[in-house]
């Protein structure tokens, strides 16, 4: 269906992104999958092309255009080529907003040029062992000691944690018995700080090109100058960025489901069974027609949500609705497309297998489907 979300500037950026992905990502992607990450120099290449600094102010080396639609284009072009851009999505859409909204002038001068250039890689450490969506139950602590804070705790499932130069760590700095959400603070822990160690690199069933780590903080001395935003106010910051984080997952879900259909069409046109192309069977046509309809419905819902977000009007409940619908749709569509590949769909040499394993986490991270339903139900007064 015709879309009216993008301008000529976005389409020009799309051409740049498509060219980069085809030339610099696709040929090397199998090696990155085996290595478990995208090389640092590729982030720097993206930075040199301006892809990582679109939202960063010009005085720090960015383009000064905080338009979320550029992020959408980047995701769509990666998915079109049946690849992902490692932790780029997390860094641009989940982590960078914290720096943009809450960094003070000194911190901006210190970190923004490196972020725009792709020289500083980032991660955000929220999740703890035993604490998933319940951010208020966080056990990592930070205690003031003169001009520093002493940080102690453990984090897990941290995307990009092995490569990150800057890790935004959420820690409890005070306790309010009447408001358990009060008292969380954001700290920027830098690579090399004593007591900050990276534990296991977790082996995942999908998303092989982005590392996922366990991080440990033992008496890490973090300068007060590395506090991001106001002390004790981090819960509100986290809630402010969650709609975009959930929208980001939905963007990936729709674009990857669309790519699964394209891959299935190409395969079934070439693959023969009983002397005729699999694409000629009525079942194949009906399955792909149904999948296409689901994707177009999700795309319309998603584009509306993106437009609302660009205008600053996307609510938490609507972001939850979009993530729930689009991720559940992705799983259905990719599964049905894989079925059309027969036994070959189960082989990792075919991209459909990667699309299938990568899709599974979309219903878990950034809030599970069950948490999305809770948020939606609350908005209904239930």
CA distances, 57 to each of 52, 53, 187, 213, 229 (Å): 12, 8, 22, 31, 18
Place of tokens 């072009």: 77
**Residue 76 annotated to the active site:** no
CA distances, 250 to each of 93, 301, 322, 336 (Å): 12, 10, 7, 19
Q: Which of 214, 245, 287, 294 is catalytic?
A: 245
Kind and range of the H or E run holding 141: strand 141-145
DSSP three-state, residue 136: helix
CA distances, 248 to each of 23, 70, 140, 379 (Å): 25, 12, 27, 21
Question: Pick from 63, 95, 57, 76: which is nearest to 258 by CA?
Answer: 76
Give yes or no for a contact between 129 and 140, defined as CB atoms under 8 angstroms apart: no
Give yes or no for a contact between 122 and 183, defined as CB atoms under 8 angstroms apart: no
CA distances, 160 to each of 30, 41, 68, 209 (Å): 19, 15, 21, 10
Q: Please name the residues in contact with 97: beta carbons below 8 A apart, sequence gap of 6 or more.
A: 241, 244
The residues annotated as belonging to the active site are 245
């Amino acid at each position: 269906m015709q879309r009216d979300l993008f301008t000529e500037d976005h389409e020009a950026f799309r051409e740049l992104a498509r060219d980069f992905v085809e030339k610099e990502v696709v040929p090397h992607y199998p090696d990155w999958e085996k290595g478990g990450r995208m090389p640092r120099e590729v982030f720097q290449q993206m930075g040199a092309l301006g892809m990582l600094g679109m939202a960063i102010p010009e005085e720090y080396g960015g383009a000064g255009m905080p338009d979320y639609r550029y992020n959408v284009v980047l995701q769509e072009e990666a998915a079109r080529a049946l690849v992902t851009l490692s932790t780029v999505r997390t860094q641009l859409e989940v982590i960078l907003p914290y720096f943009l909204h809450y960094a003070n002038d000194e911190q901006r001068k210190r970190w923004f040029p490196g972020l725009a250039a792709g020289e500083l890689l980032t991660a955000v450490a929220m999740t703890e062992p035993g604490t998933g969506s319940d951010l208020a139950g966080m056990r990592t602590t930070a205690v003031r000691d003169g001009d520093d804070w002493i940080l102690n705790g453990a984090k897990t499932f941290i995307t990009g944690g092995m490569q990150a130069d800057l890790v935004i760590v959420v820690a409890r700095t005070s306790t309010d018995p009447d408001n358990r959400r009060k008292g969380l603070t954001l700290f920027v822990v830098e690579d090399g700080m004593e007591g900050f160690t990276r534990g296991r690199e977790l082996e995942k069933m999908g998303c092989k090109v982005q590392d996922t780590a366990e991080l440990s903080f033992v008496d890490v001395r973090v300068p007060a100058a590395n506090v991001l935003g106001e002390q004790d106010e981090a819960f509100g910051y986290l809630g402010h960025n969650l709609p975009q984080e959930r929208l980001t997952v939905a963007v990936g879900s729709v674009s990857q489901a669309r790519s699964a259909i394209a891959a299935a069409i190409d395969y079934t046109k070439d693959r023969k069974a009983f002397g005729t192309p699999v694409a000629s069977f009525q079942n194949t046509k009906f399955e792909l027609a149904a999948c296409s309809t689901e994707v177009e419905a999700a795309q319309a819902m998603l584009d509306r949500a993106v437009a609302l977000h660009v205008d600053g009007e996307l609510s938490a409940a609507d972001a939850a609705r979009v993530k729930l619908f689009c991720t559940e749709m992705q799983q259905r569509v990719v599964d049905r497309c894989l079925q059309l590949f027969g036994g070959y769909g189960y082989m990792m040499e075919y991209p459909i297998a990667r699309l299938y394993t990568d899709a599974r986490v979309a219903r878990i991270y950034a809030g599970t489907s069950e948490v999305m339903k809770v948020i939606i139900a609350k908005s209904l007064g239930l």
